[in-house]
Amino acid sequence: SIKLSTMTKVVLVSTSATSLQGHDTGLWIEELAAPYYEFKKAGYEVVIASPAGGPIPIDKNSMGEGFFTDAAKKFMHDGEAVGELCHSTKLDSIDFASVDAIFCCGGHGTCVDFHDNATLKSAIESMYAADKVVSAVCHGPMALPQCNKPDGTPLIAGKVVAGFKDSEEVAVALQDKVPFMLESKMKELGAKYESADDWNSKCCVDGKLVTGQNPQSSEACAAAVISILS
């Protein structure tokens, strides 16, 4: 007997990269932890995935004073959650036909293994083409510029989007380390980029594309995804 899962399934994609041109980095833990609990609370099946599979590195700065949120603290003390983080599913082993939403978490590690990643590109493009939810927060949208709509034009062209702001990148002094400045790249590709003041929450929803500016936007993005799936 084949058991068909009727649970809504969300894949949280995190970076596998530990270093960006000599800068220690990884996942910004809040951007995984907050959506993880929001989606669990909504009753969804949540899969934590990464390009390499296995343990996901955490940017130590995301556990620093002022950044280590309640959701992040809860996650780090949650044996099941940490277990999933240590044994993440390899991205290319996931059948995205069975997935309802993809959520790309940030952290500067994404500037290494999201922006030029054929597996992630294919996953996002197939989700978009199937009219499913594509979401990304902070540096998670680094995955989007490489993606195209089924007609071959840039996926974000003409779309209202948010993502890590150029002024925020300069504030953390990594403007010379990243492969491209996200805000500038989104605008260059014809996206309608919107933002709030630095380090303030901004979530954009355009159809089933949900994007957020920074760590402060992750809960708003998760809520927007849930609202679309409800």
Residues 6+ apart with CB under 8 A from 102: 10, 11, 13, 96, 123, 124, 127, 132, 133, 134, 135
Bridge-based pairing state of the strands 23-24 and 9-13: unpaired
Q: How far is CA 38 from the centre of its chain?
A: 14
What mean pLDDT do residues 35-57 have? 97
Instruction: Output the pLDDT for position 66.
Output: 87
Does 66 or 182 have the greater pLDDT score? 182
- Asked whether the beta carbons of 208 and 124 are under 8 A apart, the reply is no
Closest CA to 111 of 169, 48, 61, 194: 169
What mean pLDDT do residues 99-125 have? 98
Mean pLDDT, the chain, whole residue set:
96
What mean pLDDT do residues 142-153 have? 98
- Asked whether the beta carbons of 187 and 193 are under 8 A apart, the reply is yes
CA distance 180 to 187: 12
Q: How confident is the model at residue 6 (pLDDT cuts 50, 70, 90)?
A: confident
What mean pLDDT do residues 186-214 have? 98
- Asked whether the beta carbons of 13 and 122 are under 8 A apart, the reply is no
- Asked whether the beta carbons of 108 and 140 are under 8 A apart, the reply is no
Phi, psi for 189 (deg, rounded to 5):
-85, 5
- Output the six-digit token pair for 4: 């068909």
Helix (H) / strand (E) element for 121: namely helix 118-129
Q: What is the largest CA-CA distance in the chain?
A: 56
Instruction: Output the pLDDT for position 5.
Output: 59
Q: Which residue has the tokens 């929450």?
A: 201
CA distance 222 to 169: 23
Residues 6+ apart with CB under 8 A from 45: 5, 7, 8, 9, 10
Instruction: Output the pLDDT for position 71.
Output: 96
**Structure confidence by residue, pLDDT tens digits, 149-190:** 999 999 999 999 999 999 999 999 999 999 999 999 999 999
Q: How confident is the model at residue 4 (pLDDT cuts 50, 70, 90)?
A: low
pLDDT at 64 over 80: yes
pLDDT at 55 over 80: yes
What mean pLDDT do residues 37-65 have? 97
Helices 30-41 and 79-86: angle between axes, nearest 10 degrees: 120
